[in-house]
Amino acid sequence: MARDRVLVTGVSGFIAKHVVLELLREDFDVRGTVRANSRAEEVRAVVRAHGGDAVRCEFVEADLGSQDGWSHAAEGCRYLLHTASPFPLVQPRRPEQLVELASRGTERVLRAASRAGVERAVVTSSVAAVFYGHPRDRMRAFDESDFTNLASRSVSPYARSKTVAERTAWDVARETGLSLSTINPGLVLGPVLDSRLGTSAQLIASMMKGRIPLLPDVAIPSVDVRDVARAHVRAMLALEAGRRFLLAAPDTPSFLQLSAFLAEAFPDRRRRLPKHRLPSALIRLGALVSPGAAMLADDLGRSKRVDTSPARDVLGIDFRSAREAVVALGESLIRYRCV
């Protein structure tokens, strides 16, 4: 009996590699998109190293910035997991480029999936499409009904791109009738699977190398990448679609607390890890000219609560703690000699 095939876009990404392993464990075949075919062997190596069957993975070349390749990529796939999206460590000066790439790329992928008869799509969004531009005195937890307010000046180019791309996904789904859910994770921590680091892993690696002496007074909800991967596959198979699933660990430590968790777990690196807070006044001053600082300024001194009950009740996700996730990330960075 033939296995169902799942199209995973941006298959060489941090989240996507975990998604591929989860799909293989659940007995699906995988077709992954890469911007260059040279990245395909990187994914095969990860699959083999972590006990997966690389023979059940195939790869096609497709780029979010081009129409080419997407119809071929979606052909013969029952499901789509759209994880590909730009996530810059430094916020660009021309945000419209990032927004256009994310939104138009999402539209291209979903329309190709609809034409190919894909049964359900799951799009990787972010809490960045949920959190920003809301009143600071807000008391209730953020839930799936909340979207980032694009009229606010505090919305960074990245948050804008994720919000516009997700709204585009829902528009396309309504127009085409494609069954859709989105996954909206917090800061994604947890183990890397090779030495190629995503943005969140780069941040923790820089802390462990002693390159970040001070940390802002910020506590962003985070989540383990293994929980994110499991949520993608379960949302793909869930009886209930049309949902946004916000993902976050039960605890929301500050960046300084994450650093303390790493210092406790890796005492030989304690001296390099940041122990002091960056003055908030400097961040607020920088927010006048820097989109990245503006995003941080919106989070200063706040602990945003997230309603993860849909992920727990519908998808059955039992979230790992932020401490477990960041320590697992630290262990993997040491294993792959990234720090």
Judge contact between 126 and 160, C-beta under 8 A.
no
Structure tokens at 18: 């975990």
* N- to C-terminal Cα separation, the chain: 45
Whole-angstrom distance, CA of residue 101 vs CA of residue 108? 10
DSSP calls for 144-185: TT----TTSTT--HHHHHHHHHHHHHHHHHHHH--EEEEEEE
Whole-angstrom distance, CA of residue 57 vs CA of residue 215? 41
Judge contact between 332 and 166, C-beta under 8 A.
no
Whole-angstrom distance, CA of residue 153 vs CA of residue 129? 15
Residues labelled as active-site residues: 162
Judge contact between 169 and 153, C-beta under 8 A.
no
